[in-house]
Structure 1
């Protein structure tokens, strides 16, 4: 990969687990790090500086919009720019939806989704002005595929994919690339949710290479990359080939041709929402001409 030395990164939730692994990995590449965490930020800073790197600790609650903006502004005042934002901070409040207190739903959304929005909104104008930026969202298989007892977490993580999709489009002409990491790792947040055998394989350091790649100068954009245990795989939303029902465009018509409508053997990826609109209009018109 191209040299990243001298770049500036803000990493949220970097006091332990995945965030710490990302911070240590990027610091080894010469990236200067703002280690954001409500807990052990200084401990990670000490690790980085002991290894010859440069980092500062930050204890901002990223769900506080003004505080998140101040954190980013402080980084720019200190080092002159911000090149990388890794939205990693998160919490869990797991319960089945029937038993979940909506206050816990709100808390998870506030940290994962709104916190990422707050930090990204603060960094965006600086990245636009300098014509360069790399933003990494942290999604999850729970948001992509679902998981029992994680309606709040899954909603937040799915929302981050939607945010990435839009920002990847809006940032394309501004030199800003936006991606999502879908990690599976043993951390304090997943303690008790992963077996001991799996935990031995899924160390946070096995995920960090994916984060490094996704915020690198030659990174792709609009990509969801799964990572864990040294294994990596891209996920994406795909759509079946559209089917025009013509005069039979009724609920009964859908039911009758459901096998065809739901057949993903000839699926495709759509680059943006209006590409779907164009495709549907063309398919409808072709159906009328048939």
Structure 2
């Protein structure tokens, strides 16, 4: 909820959604002016109800932030099929944000900004979670093409590619993690400056490393 908090501090009217009623209740208790909606963004009916709630309360949506996600390790060399939950992963990390973006643009064709929180793994896939890299790369590609489509109408499309972040999704991850607040700070700065992409923390070296030492970068990622 750190990014939502950043918008609140700027005086924005904020809508938060998620599947955890407890987390939504905590945010609503400290931010009574915000709209908190329990919704599963992989469910079409839930997305429709969410957007109707936004329309009823505020009439429009100026900034859409797509940041739902999950991280699933899958070992294809283990001698068994690891794809039992693959469809759920693809739905949450890839098709849900694409569906939600399309549905938002159908209602409000010219928002100020659309934000995608992807991952540094969109550029170099993690060895232990190749499908995570695949879906994040897919969302990276969608953001890239959408940016050019929406540029003539003045909609800013921002992709944020953080490293491992200290969230429940990464509870079992080892190594250095950014806080959600740090990612939010970089995101807000990139929005203000009209950047196409933002690289919080360790990922800021990735564009240069991909140009000058891609093999080294892949070896580093392989150890994560």
Superposed structure 1 runs of 4+ greater than 4 Å apart: 234-237
Structure 1: 5+ residue stretches without partners:
1-19, 240-263, 266-290
**Deviations 1:162-205, CA, capped at 9 Å, x for gaps:** 1001110110111211111111221111112123xx24xx2211
Q: Per-residue deviation at 1:136?
A: 0.8
Q: Per-residue deviation at 1:103?
A: 3.2
Structure 2: 5+ residue stretches without partners:
213-224
Residues in 1 aligned to 2:191 and 2:43: alpha-carbon distance in whole angstroms: 25
Aligned Cα root-mean-square deviation (Å): 2.4
Residues in 1 aligned to 2:5 and 2:127: alpha-carbon distance in whole angstroms: 33
Q: Per-residue deviation at 1:235?
A: 5.7
Instruction: Work out whether 1:78 is the aligned partner of 2:60.
Output: no
Q: 1:209 aligns with which of 185, 193, 199?
A: 185
**Deviations 1:233-262, CA, capped at 9 Å, x for gaps:** 38669x9xxxxxxxxxxxxxxxxxxxxxxx
**Which structure: larger Rg?**
1
User: Do the aligned residues in 2 keep the contact of 1:138 with 1:157 (CA within 8 Å)?
Assistant: no
Equivalent residue pairs, number? 207
Q: TM-score, normalised by structure 2?
A: 0.83
Equivalent in the alignment of 2:222:
none
1:102-117 equivalent positions in 2, closer than 5 A: 102-117=83-98
Q: 1:233 aligns with which of 164, 180, 204?
A: 204
User: Do the aligned residues in 2 keep the contact of 1:87 with 1:137 (CA within 8 Å)?
Assistant: yes
Cα 1:175–1:100 change in 2 (3 A) is farther
Q: TM-score, normalised by structure 1?
A: 0.65
Q: 2:123 aligns with which of 138, 144, 161?
A: 144
User: Do the aligned residues in 1 keep the contact of 2:93 with 2:135 (CA within 8 Å)?
Assistant: yes
Cα 1:87–1:175 change in 2 (3 A) is same
Q: 2:168 aligns with which of 182, 188, 192?
A: 188
Q: Per-residue deviation at 1:69?
A: 2.8
Q: Which secondary structure state, in structure 1, belongs to the residue aligned with residue 49 of structure 2?
A: helix
Equivalent in the alignment of 1:25:
6
Equivalent in the alignment of 2:221:
none
Equivalent in the alignment of 2:82:
101
Cα 1:97–1:127 change in 2 (3 A) is farther
Residues in 1 aligned to 2:8 and 2:84: alpha-carbon distance in whole angstroms: 37
Q: Per-residue deviation at 1:208?
A: 0.5
Q: Which secondary structure state, in structure 2, belongs to the residue aligned with residue 103 of structure 1?
A: coil
Cα 1:65–1:236 change in 2 (3 A) is farther
